[in-house]
A = this chain, B = another copy of it.
Amino acid sequence: MAGGRGGSVGAMPEPLVPSTGLGVLHLFCAVAPLTDRAAVEAAVKSAEADDLQVVPVAVLGHKADVAFMVLGKDLWRLRAFQSAVVAAGLDVVDSYVSLTELSEYAKGLPEQMAQARLYPVLPPEGKAAWCFYPMSKRRDPEQNWYALPFDERKELMMEHGAPGRKFAGRILQLITGSTGVDDWEWGVTLFAENPDDLKEVVYTMRFDKASTEYAEFGAFTTGAVGTLAEVLDAVGVTG
């Protein structure tokens, strides 16, 4: 399986790219007895050389050992990174597929903020506490987000953003869209200074009407962002 991964890049099919923004692939991997540290390092280096961003995370608990949050334009190239990671002996045990986006409530955003959402540069400095969770808006007969008029949804989203702004210096939040491409409608990635910031910001927002009445959450995965070497050390992938 695999082998000359790097060498075959030149032969890849015509790029499959979003019309704006980036593809985002969260890969949650388990270390296995034959995981090859040098091959993992080579896979990341080759991806970065090819204009992908790769954020490595040491995950706490049974859900995974290493997470890679990978961003790039071409879906074929994202898939090539996944195949290289598997060829290096990691098992991909979970994942999330999404795309960066400007939400319909963020139309008038200043250009710089819009760019930061469509083309984020990750990871941020000094924010090693990390979590990821997917979410959808509720469609219950009595509380149906999609049955609300646009103005009401926009107002709820503005209110919802307020506590986020309160945490602005301590938290970087990236919301990527996944309606139609994965099981939930959005993926949320948080980077924070301290682990309890993750808890505090999500707990605080749970009292916003947009969350209280209209949000459904998937599984939460938590870990520590580091250099690739730090992360591989932490999860026991020795040289």
- Interface on A for B, CB 8 Å cutoff? 1-5, 8, 11-14, 16-21, 23, 25, 27-28, 31-33, 35, 58-63, 65, 75-76, 78-80, 82-84, 86-87, 92-97, 99, 101, 128-129, 131, 133, 139-144, 146-147, 177-183, 185, 190, 194-203, 206-207, 211-213, 219-220, 222-224, 226-227, 230, 233-238
A60: contacting residue among B31, B97, B180, CB under 8 A: B97
Whether the Cβ atoms of A182 and B220 lie closer than 8 Å is: yes
What CA separation (Å) do A219 and B46 show in the bound complex? 31
* Min CB–CB distance A96 → chain B (angstroms): 7
Whether the Cβ atoms of B146 and A143 lie closer than 8 Å is: no
On chain B, the residues within 8 Å of A27 by CB distance are: 61-62
Whether the Cβ atoms of B199 and A180 lie closer than 8 Å is: yes
A79: contacting residue among B21, B60, B129, B185, CB under 8 A: B60
On chain B, the residues within 8 Å of A203 by CB distance are: 177, 179-180, 185
What CA separation (Å) do A179 and B141 show in the bound complex? 24
On chain B, the residues within 8 Å of A219 by CB distance are: 183
A25: contacting residue among B13, B60, B201, CB under 8 A: B60
Whether the Cβ atoms of A28 and B62 lie closer than 8 Å is: yes
* Min CB–CB distance A113 → chain B (angstroms): 20
Whether the Cβ atoms of A93 and B31 lie closer than 8 Å is: no
A92: contacting residue among B62, B92, B197, B207, CB under 8 A: B62
Whether the Cβ atoms of B60 and A101 lie closer than 8 Å is: no
Measured CB to CB, the nearest residue on chain B to A190 is: B180
Whether the Cβ atoms of B222 and A199 lie closer than 8 Å is: no
Whether the Cβ atoms of B60 and A78 lie closer than 8 Å is: yes
On chain B, the residues within 8 Å of A82 by CB distance are: 60-61
Q: List 19 A-B contacts (CB under 8 A).
A: A1-B31, A1-B236, A2-B236, A8-B233, A12-B233, A16-B128, A18-B196, A25-B60, A60-B78, A83-B236, A101-B196, A142-B142, A179-B202, A179-B203, A180-B190, A180-B199, A180-B201, A180-B202, A185-B203
What CA separation (Å) do A27 and B63 show in the bound complex? 11
On chain B, the residues within 8 Å of A133 by CB distance are: 180
On chain B, the residues within 8 Å of A11 by CB distance are: 233
* Min CB–CB distance A81 → chain B (angstroms): 10
